[in-house]
Amino acid sequence: MLRILFWDLNKKDLRRHVCDAAKAVSADVIILIEAGETSANTLTMLKSFVSSSFYFPHAVINRFQIFARNSSLDLAEVYGGNRVSLRRLSYAGNDLTLGAVHVVDRRNWDQQNQSAQVSLLAADVQHGENTMGHDRTILIGDFNMNPFDQAMNMATGMNAMMTAKCVEGGSRILQEREYHFFYNPMWSLFGDRNRAPGPSGTYYHLSSSQGLYGWNMLDQVLLRSSAIPLFHDVQILTSVGDTVLQNKVGRPDKKTASDHFPILVTLK
């Protein structure tokens, strides 16, 4: 199994929590955004408290802090932009592309302009796939949208569908142009989930123009159809080791941790 931990740290120094999480889930890859500490200081703690084999692959843009436990995974950057970092990932005899994503937020960008930025992101991903010569792509990050938002679903956006069955064809044709699908497994973790245990999203907000839904699923993983056979599952973490990340009503405890829950993606 390959375990990829993603966490939006809300600009806080949560190095101890990151180390606890990495140790608790045996993370092989850690992707952090909005970190309150430098990558060098975070790496020092990971090497001291989790595993001395952790390293920080070189990147052009420092928006993302990406750490790996095993150098055989590669994680060399293929394309680096302000809002996306595409990396080579060698795993189980497969050449994959692992992308870290941080989409512009709705507080500073209206829906129309956010959608335009998402279309540019989708074009960047396509460019990276053309460079790599395959589309075995996995994207993980804070998309600052819910799975049902238009830019997540529209063909010129992320083109992300709610079931693996929906993306079996690999792509759809609109106006004589081909658009490759992503599969978004976060749909299955959204809402009450038939009252199954676990939070109803990764972020809770009820009082702004971002939406009046309460729970939001801003932190997501998307997979091309060709990468689905390697996908095992995705979990929303509400505790790391002995540290509880939720408050008394089950929402992210932003006083002691982040306003986002971390997610853990596991590959077979």
pLDDT in tens, 150-166: 999 999 999 999 999 99
| Mean pLDDT of all residues in 183-197 | 82
Contact (CB, 8 A) for 230 and 94: yes
Say whether pLDDT at 209 is over 60: no
pLDDT score of 134: 95
Find where tokens 């180390």 sit: 19
Residue with the larger pLDDT of the pair 63 and 14: 14
Topology of 2-267 in CATH?
A: Deoxyribonuclease I; Chain A (3.60.10)
The residues, any chain, with a CB within 8 Å of residue 175's CB and separated by 6 or more, are none
Asked whether the beta carbons of 267 and 232 are under 8 A apart, the reply is yes
The helix/strand/coil state of 122 is helix
Contact in structure between 34 and 13 (CB atoms under 8 Å):
no
Residue 138 near residue 227, CB atoms below 8 Å: yes
User: What is the overall mean pLDDT for the chain?
Assistant: 92
Q: Among 88, 80, 71, 78, which residue's Cα sits nearest to residue 28?
A: 71
Give the type of residue at 154: M
Q: Are strands 203-205 and 171-174 parallel, antiparallel or unpaired?
A: unpaired
pLDDT tens-digit map of 60-102: 667 899 999 999 999 999 998 889 999 999 999 999 999 999 9
Q: Where are the domains of the chain?
A: 2-267
3-state secondary structure of 262: coil
CA dist 203 and 190 (Å) reads 11
Distance of CA 30 to the CA centre of its chain: 10
Q: What is the pLDDT of residues 194-208, one digit of tens each?
A: 656 789 999 998 765
Among 188, 172, 196, smallest CA distance to 231 is for: 188
Does 211 have pLDDT greater than 70? Answer: no
